[in-house]
Amino acid sequence: MPFKIKFWLRFSLLNLFIVAFLGVILRFKIGFEFPYLNQRNIHHAHSHFAFIGWITHTLFIIIVNLIQDKSPTIQLNKYKLPIAVNLISAYGMLIAFFIGGYSIFSISFIVVSFIAALIFTRNVFFDFNKFTEKTPEIIWIKAALLFNLISNLGTVYLVKMMLLQDFDEHWYLSAEYFYLHFLYNGFFVFCCLGLVVNEAIKNLPTYRYEKNIFIGFFAAFIPAYFLSTLWANLPIWLYTLVVLSAILQFVAWLKFIFDIQKAARQASNISKAKTYFFLFVAIAFSIKLILQLASTIPALGTFVFGFRHIVIAYLHLVLLAVISGFIVSYLFELELIRKTKKSLNSIAFFFSAILLNELILAIQGIASFTYHSIPYVNEILFVVALFLLFGVSFILWTQQNKT
């Protein structure tokens, strides 16, 4: 049987709905002091399912679709097993974390998802080597998949601390940020940038890719991890390297979007929807990099990472506005999900909810600097979480309704 891209993508949108639904439960518990269910367990279920069930699963499908487009003769059946196993492990994590948090069951599903990712990565590398034309996006996606595997080292250390009850706050934070850095800034970002490179080369005749863009992002990636550990009193040489990495990433990004914008102006096949979607994600990613630069100021970096609201706002900026925003718009533009006026409006509503969510989280974070609280902010965020859920529901509905 052939590998059916759209069949597997149905799970993606369903999984995004589940992520949004869990977000509503979390916001309801915070806003209305709902005494039932364990907040920490729901949080772990929400985050792990978002990482594995929504983003990882969807990026895996998109990578397989890319391989199919580049070389239609390659057999894709070998991807069914790792993708199915990854999906099953995502649902296993969802249930295990929801019921009991970190346990032998949730940890077992984490291990299974790693094995699935390992097999998937091996298959992709093998098929990339078959390509007659070595196009630039290959190196981005190879790096992304390797970063995904490496990110699990952070999870392993977290699990070790929990099982041995050997808890050290600094090492715990370091391991957690290691996992998030290699997953967010590594796997997710590098994969998405690789897909952008591929689409730019394919659709913008005057676009000229420069390999220095990848070199800049890759060279800055490892040192950029220490942006999350500035509170650890880094030696001056390492701090200097961290500052340079933040600058290098920002400069490489400016060059990247400048080249794309220049080529896009000369192209006649760019729709308004594609332009607006790209602008939304590009602005969000630019803000992310600006915040990284700002965090290199020692006093500000230490101060910011001490506020939970700021960290949550930043993580949501990357996960929702940048990564989820890009994936949804990418699926729409490539018609991997049904491309209709209703689905376009649904995505626009979803993006509006993301923007509103980020604005309120930003206001809440800024207010925390002065130790002020925004009246009814938790109730407002609950309503916004409902908007996000409605947005995903509308997108799902448009995939069922053919009109």
Task: Convert the pLDDT of each residue in 135-151 to its tens digit.
Answer: 899 999 999 999 999 99
Separation in Å, CA 163 to CA 153, 158, 262, 382 = 15, 9, 53, 34
Does residue 135 lie in a domain region?
Answer: no
Does residue 38 lie in a domain region?
Answer: no
Neighbour tally for 183: CB within 10 Å: 23
Q: What's the pLDDT tens digit per position in 66-96?
A: 999 988 889 999 999 999 999 999 999 999 9
**Which pLDDT value is given to residue 339?**
85
Two structure tokens written together for 227: 């942006």
CA distance 357 to 350: 11
How big is the chain by its Cα radius of gyration, in Å? 21
Which stretches of the chain score pLDDT less than 50? 403
- Provide the residue range defining the domain that includes 304: 271-403
**Which pLDDT value is given to residue 68?**
92
Where are any strands of DSSP class E within 146-263?
A: none
**Which pLDDT value is given to residue 39?**
87
Tell me if 115 sits within 8 A of 66, measured CB to CB: no
Residue type, 68: Q
The values of phi and psi at residue 395, to 5°, are: -60, -45
Eight-state DSSP code of residue 232? G
Does residue 377 lie in a domain region?
Answer: yes
CA distance 331 to 195: 11
**Which pLDDT value is given to residue 310?**
74
Tell me if 249 sits within 8 A of 289, measured CB to CB: yes
Neighbour tally for 398: CB within 10 Å: 22
Q: What angle do CA 73, 76, 81 make, to 5 degrees?
A: 170
In this prediction the pTM is 0.93
**Which pLDDT value is given to residue 267?**
77
Does residue 403 lie in a domain region?
Answer: yes
Output helix, strand, coil percentages for the chain, rounded to the nearest 5: 85, 0, 15
Tell me if 57 sits within 8 A of 5, measured CB to CB: no
Instruction: Count how many domains the chain has.
Output: 1
Tell me if 215 sits within 8 A of 227, measured CB to CB: no
Pick from 20, 81, 12: which is nearest to 53 by CA? 12
**Which pLDDT value is given to residue 103?**
85
Tell me if 362 sits within 8 A of 351, measured CB to CB: no
**Which pLDDT value is given to residue 402?**
57
Does residue 392 lie in a domain region?
Answer: yes
Does residue 239 lie in a domain region?
Answer: no
Pick from 6, 142, 130, 141: which is nearest to 73 by CA? 130
Tell me if 89 sits within 8 A of 52, measured CB to CB: yes
Does residue 102 lie in a domain region?
Answer: no
Where are any strands of DSSP class E within 149-267?
A: none
Does residue 116 lie in a domain region?
Answer: no
Instruction: Please report how the helices 137-164 and 211-224 are oriented relative to each other, as an axis angle in degrees rounded to 10.
Output: 10
Cα dihedral 53→54→59→64 (10° resolution)? 60
Residue type, 148: N
Two structure tokens written together for 373: 């609280």
